[in-house]
């Protein structure tokens, strides 16, 4: 790691340096584990006490604290910490043209120098890879696929033929982009495969997690919009579109033709039934199941999906169903002693 002064880092994140700006910083760390060459941060002032107990060389804060430790004051300490962290730990890309001797590159593939291909990488016919892109061990780029610049494909990521990937895209290990959508026509008792002849487009600055799968469209395009982030073990079905700057946490699935707007966030284990739309700026909590469109921005949760505050009440009742049943039984009994109705509507 190259050391850099607190003052330089403050400038790097458009922050204000308070205290000794000449202190040299080599890494980011949690304040509780930080040493004198580390910089930490406090998300907000509730955690300010951590600073006094820390051995960190500097700290990023929202507003200046009355401590001796050098500080960088910025509106968003978490963002500044992420930026500084990335400066010390950049996502690996290709800085020199370096094709491992075991990499197999089709003679008509076009690599824009520099590109780094690790061991046992395979690049298919007519594929294009932009400069700065690094493919880890065993990555497979299919025929005619186009990968942009400064991308990072971790080991064993597979890009099917014809897929188009933008710049600065990260694919984690085992991610599969462009596999066939799940489409069959039923012919009597048998399934006839509907050829999946569309493609996948992954726009700039997208990150896709380990062992996630993004299916190609039946006809047309499955699209992941610029800046969207998809976590591990997520399935995106054929012909889905995800807008820009979305975040989709792990272990989730979108059935075919789900259309997600911009800036939509989804917690983990969210499942969508397909053929539906989610409005821009919707925030969908974890463990939700979507059966219909989400028409307005806002916070949503539940199964079936509801406005979040409503689901909290539903969940409360769900947790008390045995008591609710007992109550209704008692009401029925007490009614029985008041009135002469018979034949209860149901035997609960």
Q: Is 119 in the site for its own copies (CB under 8 A)?
A: yes
Instruction: Kindly indicate which of the ranges 4-12, 65-73, 125-133, 318-326 contains the residues binding its own copies, using the contact rule CB under 8 A.
Output: 318-326
Distance from C-alpha of 256 to C-alpha of 241, rounded to nearest angstrom: 9
The H-assigned helical ranges of the chain are 6-12, 49-53, 77-88, 308-318, 321-338
Q: Is 88 in the site for its own copies (CB under 8 A)?
A: yes
| Sheet containing strand 258-260, strands side by side | 110-111, 128-129, 146-147, 164-165, 199-202, 221-224, 241-242, 258-260, 276-278
Catalytic residue (one of 100, 238, 316, 343): 238
Residue number with CB closer to its own copies (66 or 101): 101
Kindly tell me which residue out of 3, 14, 22, 30 binds its own copies, with binding defined by CB under 8 A. Answer: 30
Residue number with CB closer to its own copies (66 or 321): 321
Residue number with CB closer to its own copies (113 or 192): 192
Supply the minimum distance, in Å, between the C-beta of residue 16 and its own copies: 18
Residue 238 bears catalytic tag: yes
Phi, psi of 27, deg, nearest 5: -165, 165
Whether the CB-CB separation of 304 and 291 falls below 8 Å is answered with: yes
Kindly tell me which residue out of 94, 224, 271, 294 binds its own copies, with binding defined by CB under 8 A. Answer: 271
278-287 contact pairs (CB < 8 A, 24+): 280/243, 285/311, 286/249
Kindly tell me which residue out of 16, 68, 295, 320 binds its own copies, with binding defined by CB under 8 A. Answer: 320
Distance from C-alpha of 98 to C-alpha of 79, rounded to nearest angstrom: 33
Please, which of residues 156-175 interact with its own copies by CB under 8 A? Answer: 156, 158, 160, 170, 172-174
Instruction: Kindly indicate which of the ranges 14-22, 56-64, 108-116, 233-241 contains the residues binding its own copies, using the contact rule CB under 8 A.
Output: 233-241
Kindly tell me which residue out of 23, 28, 60, 284 binds its own copies, with binding defined by CB under 8 A. Answer: 28
Please, which of residues 179-218 interact with its own copies by CB under 8 A? Answer: 179-180, 182, 184-187, 189-195, 197, 207, 209-211, 213, 215
Distance from C-alpha of 24 to C-alpha of 27, rounded to nearest angstrom: 10
Q: Is 12 in the site for its own copies (CB under 8 A)?
A: no
| Size, binding site for its own copies by CB under 8 A | 120
Helix axes 321-338, 308-318, angle to 10 degrees: 70
Supply the minimum distance, in Å, between the C-beta of residue 66 and its own copies: 26
Whether the CB-CB separation of 28 and 39 falls below 8 Å is answered with: yes
Where in the sequence numbering do the catalytic residues fall? 238
């Amino acid at each position: 790691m190259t050391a850099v002064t607190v003052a330089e880092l403050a400038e790097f994140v458009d922050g204000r340096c308070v205290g000794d700006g000449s202190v040299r910083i080599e890494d980011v760390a949690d304040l509780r584990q930080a040493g004198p060459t580390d910089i930490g941060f406090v998300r907000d002032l509730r955690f300010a006490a951590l600073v006094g107990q820390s051995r960190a060389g500097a700290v990023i804060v929202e507003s200046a604290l009355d401590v001796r430790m050098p500080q960088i004051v910025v509106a968003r300490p978490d963002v500044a910490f992420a930026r500084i962290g990335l400066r010390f730990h950049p996502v690996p890309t290709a800085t020199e043209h370096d094709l491992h001797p075991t990499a197999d590159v089709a003679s008509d593939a076009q690599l824009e120098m520099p590109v780094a291909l690790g061991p046992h990488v395979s690049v298919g016919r007519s594929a294009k890879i932009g400069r700065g892109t690094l493919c880890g061990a065993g990555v497979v780029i299919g025929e005619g696929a186009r990968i942009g610049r400064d991308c990072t494909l971790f080991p064993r990521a597979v890009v099917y033929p014809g897929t188009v990937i933008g710049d600065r895209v990260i694919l984690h290990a085992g991610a599969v982009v462009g596999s066939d959508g799940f489409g069959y026509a039923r012919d009597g008792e048998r399934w006839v495969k509907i050829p999946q002849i569309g493609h996948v487009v992954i726009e700039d600055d997208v990150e896709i997690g380990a062992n996630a799968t993004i299916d190609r469209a039946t006809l047309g395009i499955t699209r992941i919009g610029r800046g969207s982030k998809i976590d591990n073990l997520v399935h995106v079905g054929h012909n889905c579109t995800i807008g820009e700057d979305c975040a989709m946490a792990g272990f989730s699935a979108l059935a075919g033709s789900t259309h997600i707007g911009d800036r939509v966030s989804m917690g983990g284990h969210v499942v969508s039934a397909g053929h539906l739309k989610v409005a821009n700026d919707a925030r969908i909590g974890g463990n939700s199941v979507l059966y219909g469109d989400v028409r307005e921005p806002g916070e949503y949760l539940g199964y079936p999906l509801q406005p979040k505050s409503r689901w909290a009440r539903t969940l409360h009742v769900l947790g008390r169903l045995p008591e609710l049943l007992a109550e209704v039984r008692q009401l029925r009994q007490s009614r029985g002693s008041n009135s002469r109705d018979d034949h209860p509507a149901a035997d609960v």
